[in-house]
Structure 1
Amino acid sequence: MKRLANLLVLSLCAAGPLVAQESHSELSPAEQSEAIYASGYDKFRVGGYGEVLAKFMDYGINRFRGTSNGNAKDHRNEISIPRFVLAFDYKFNSKWILGAEIEFEAGGTGTAYEIENTENGEYETEVEKGGEVALEQFHITRLIHPAFNVRAGHLIVPVGLTNEHHEPINFFGTSRPEGETSIIPSTWHETGIEFFGTFGKEYTSFNYQAMVVAGLNANGFDRNNWVQGGKQGIFETDNFTSPAYVARLNYNGVPGLKVGGSVYYCNNVAANSDKLNEYSRIGDNVSLWIYSADAQYKNKYVTARANMIYGNLSHSDMLTQINATISGLSPYTRTTPIAKHAVSYGGEVGFNLRSICKDNPKVPVIYPFARYEYYNPQQEGAGRDVMDLRNKVSMWTAGLNWYALPNLVVKADYTTRKIGGGQYNSENEFSLAVAYVGWFWSK
């Protein structure tokens, strides 16, 4: 593994003359629409992003295998295409805009689930195709005024820094930040309506998003990923009985600095379950609050990002009892207990070697970086539920990003995880990735 890392570093250093300038485009959906006429197309554009990832690990496949020391020590490798996304934007005119993204994701089975109400409400599975295809975005935007615009359709839910900036050139690691993606959906997209805009100027510049979208489904909540599995979409229609309300505010008044925060609220995630009255014996609404705060700063020398997510789920002990009895034919894990509180926080910083070397064109655009994360989908339980320490993870990642082109990056990093505060075996891995983002055709 050390030999492989050394070869990679040597190859990056030798390729210096081929390197282009780094891209600094990290626009939120609101910012993208604000700059719609400066974005390089008049009528339509086609593009997307994608990743190829290889991992070399020293641990087994199951941290929860029933032993006292956590994951087994093992040596195994994986290679995958985590996602390949095609994006399309079309301007009907200067005020009406269509946007869409289709994601092809590895690891899926291409199955569809149905509930047969004529057979006591049992789940049935139909295998339709290999792989997985998901509609990540599909929306119509009406531009009205910089301070107020409307978008309706299938939308990105801007909770957390990764959902706000989910393209692979917008984080240093070979994989998306593990903390955020372990407790909430990523990329999180739901159907609904959004209001967005910008206000203020110069040092008092802000943008905002306010949304009403389909809420999470309590059937998918579990021990290891908290509410991540509650995202709807396995059926042809989503349950909108208890919608979610999302708000995000970003401050952009200082050049290179962006500070943001978001709130997610669903009054009763139990009402969005697959079957009516599945959680009726709780006798109360099961509310969900998720709060996030994040910041990022970029200049020619350094890029730094930090984020925090905290969530509160009511009646989690009652959900635990009911979710453990869901049909074994369902797509849900039924792994319990479910926590009342979950948390994730972390930060990363990288330095541009070319800028440090006085912008010497012979020096490649390489960012050495380090990232720290802490996350725990079992931060605190309710009632008599005992939380599982194997979900308490603190981790360090260090590596390199080489921008071979402004929108194409080669990544290498090493990750070490401390499990349960060090009570269980550590998990270590070396990873390589290639990722891109860009528009291929525009008019």
Structure 2
Amino acid sequence: MRKLTNLLAITLLGSCATAFAQNEETLTSAEESAEIYASGYEKFRFGGYGEMAASYMDYQWNRLTPYGSAKKSRGSISIPRFIVAFDYKFSPTWILGAEIEFEYGGTGMARELEWYSEGGEYEMEVEKGGEVALEQFHITKLIHKSFNIRAGHIIVPVGLTNAHHEPINFFGVYRPEGETTILPSTWHENGIAFFGTIGKFDYEAMLVAGLDPLGFRNTEWIASGKQGAFEIDNFTSPAVAGRINYSGVKGLRVGASAYFNRSSKNASKPQRTSGYNFDVTVLTADAQYKTKNLTARANVVYGNLSNSEKLSQINQGSTGSSGYPRTQVGKNAISYAAETGYNVGSFFNDNAPRIYPFVRYEYYNPMEKTQGKVLADKRMQISMWTAGVNYYALPNLVIKADYSNRRVGGGNYNSENMISVGIAYIGWFLTK
């Protein structure tokens, strides 16, 4: 299955040039207007996106030593994501949308290593790697430009990366690390959403399945709390989320999103969290400015978890065979980043290849602030610079290369360096 998935992804990547030459339209983001979502096809369309990446690193997996990650040369190659997308119109106003996501070649045929801190000590788990997930499966009812309804398995557009997660919407080989460390990515849940456009504003508001607090941990904050370990999600305490974008200035898009969930009632073992409120609040803001040759983006994510000290105590009481993290959890998590790139091909002529040198800065910390006796682990504090180049061989096919440097714990631990190359595509291959 894993080899078949890899072969299929590579075959589509190699054969998509004709489709891109005919159709430069990208997949629609979660909060795009009803007109955009329904345009470009009469009955159905089939497409997707994918990424392949290879990296060289000078550090080991284990960051949780007195000195940080030990120096070791190693390399990796993978298919981080391969997504198949399909939209079908039952009628002009009733639309079925679906996306199936293959992460790292599929599921069940590989094994992965996970590192985390258990009681101040380093532990590594070996478990099944890869994933096949239903990223989206929903029915949309188009009612009016200003108000429409979508129900099913939907994207939670909290944060810039979740709202615009397709690989041509960020410069680096890999997704921005800060957001994807502290928030689920791509974040998708069962629920219902209301969306539309009012003047220069696009909005989306939703009620979705909440998080399982027993999955929260020191290295990922709430990112590992997404439900899905069982066949049916707990909907006892659903989450509310929303996003709004303003596009009233040419080339500029400004957005904000929010999320709230009283997560304790969604615990997969509710007897362990009974009597406590583990409320999750996430607030984000982002902006993108784009001209013919210049692209600049910035975003910030702030999160708060109530009673994080008590949840840390509950985690540390888990047994080794439980499958749950046994780590402490931060009260506040934060991530902020900015990136900019410029098309140097424009210095030659309008027909020159689009080549974007870029630079990105990120800061993130899933334990920015802790509660009570919980000690913040400084090795969770990361400042990261990434510089590289994106070459657009076709409008929707990009070849990427970059170098990144992580400064750990304010420079008090060993730094981490990585060189990466990758190729990514996105598009609709067949429409009718």
TM-score normalised by L of structure 1: 0.86
Partner of 1:274: 268
Mapped partners of 1:355, 1:147: distance in 2: 38
Partner of 2:160: 161
Q: AA paired with 1:102? A: I
CA-to-aligned-CA distance 1:147-181 (integer Å, 9 cap, x gap): 11000000000000000010111100000000000
Partner of 1:58: 58
Q: Is the 8 A contact 1:54 1:431 kept in 2?
A: yes
Offset, 1:234: 1.2
Secondary structure class of the residue paired with 1:277? helix
What's the C-alpha RMSD, in Å, of the aligned pairs? 2.0
Q: AA paired with 2:271? A: N
Q: AA paired with 1:318? A: K
Mapped partners of 2:30, 2:316: distance in 1: 38
Could you tell me which of 252, 257, 262 is aligned with 2:257?
262
Partner of 1:415: 404
Q: Is the 8 A contact 2:206 2:241 kept in 1?
A: yes
The number of residues matched between the two structures is 396
Q: Does 1:240 align with 2:235?
A: yes
Q: Is the 8 A contact 2:25 2:428 kept in 1?
A: no
Q: AA paired with 2:272? A: E
Could you tell me which of 284, 301, 324 is aligned with 2:316?
324
Q: Is the 8 A contact 2:237 2:263 kept in 1?
A: yes
Offset, 1:109: 4.7
Runs of 4+ aligned residues of structure 1 deviating over 6 Å after TM superposition are 19-24
Q: Does 1:288 align with 2:277?
A: no
Offset, 1:71: 0.4
Q: Is the 8 A contact 2:242 2:258 kept in 1?
A: yes
Q: Is the 8 A contact 2:78 2:104 kept in 1?
A: yes
Partner of 1:297: 289
Partner of 1:253: 248
Q: AA paired with 1:41? A: Y
Taking a change above 3 Å as real, the CA distance of residues 218 and 108 of structure 1, as seen in their structure-2 partners, is farther
Offset, 1:358: 4.0
CA-to-aligned-CA distance 1:232-270 (integer Å, 9 cap, x gap): 01110001111100011100111211100001001x211
Alignment gaps of 5+ in structure 2: 1-19, 110-126
Mapped partners of 2:284, 2:382: distance in 1: 19
Q: Does 1:191 align with 2:190?
A: yes
Q: Is the 8 A contact 2:41 2:431 kept in 1?
A: yes
Q: Does 1:104 align with 2:102?
A: yes
Secondary structure class of the residue paired with 1:159? coil
Q: Is the 8 A contact 2:26 2:427 kept in 1?
A: no
Partner of 2:122: none
Partner of 1:220: 215
Q: Is the 8 A contact 1:20 1:403 kept in 2?
A: no
Q: Does 1:339 align with 2:330?
A: yes
Q: Is the 8 A contact 2:23 2:428 kept in 1?
A: no
Q: Does 1:400 align with 2:398?
A: no
Q: Is the 8 A contact 1:20 1:365 kept in 2?
A: no
Secondary structure class of the residue paired with 1:30? coil
Offset, 1:25: 4.9
Q: Is the 8 A contact 1:402 1:409 kept in 2?
A: yes
Taking a change above 3 Å as real, the CA distance of residues 358 and 130 of structure 1, as seen in their structure-2 partners, is closer
TM-score normalised by L of structure 2: 0.88
Mapped partners of 2:412, 2:272: distance in 1: 38
Offset, 1:182: 0.4
Q: Is the 8 A contact 2:33 2:145 kept in 1?
A: no
Q: Is the 8 A contact 1:58 1:74 kept in 2?
A: yes
Q: Is the 8 A contact 1:290 1:312 kept in 2?
A: yes
Q: Is the 8 A contact 1:217 1:270 kept in 2?
A: yes
Partner of 2:72: 74
Could you tell me which of 346, 354, 358 is aligned with 1:355?
346
Q: Is the 8 A contact 2:26 2:426 kept in 1?
A: no
Mapped partners of 1:327, 1:238: distance in 2: 23
Q: AA paired with 1:191? A: N
Partner of 2:86: 88
Mapped partners of 1:385, 1:194: distance in 2: 37
Mapped partners of 1:305, 1:347: distance in 2: 6
Q: Does 1:426 align with 2:415?
A: yes
Partner of 2:41: 41
Taking a change above 3 Å as real, the CA distance of residues 23 and 172 of structure 1, as seen in their structure-2 partners, is farther
Percent identical among aligned pairs is 59
Mapped partners of 2:318, 2:206: distance in 1: 31
Partner of 1:118: none
Q: Which has the larger radius of gyration?
A: 1
Q: Is the 8 A contact 1:34 1:146 kept in 2?
A: yes
Partner of 1:117: none
Offset, 1:69: 1.0
Secondary structure class of the residue paired with 2:91? coil
Q: Is the 8 A contact 1:300 1:355 kept in 2?
A: no
Q: Is the 8 A contact 1:26 1:165 kept in 2?
A: no
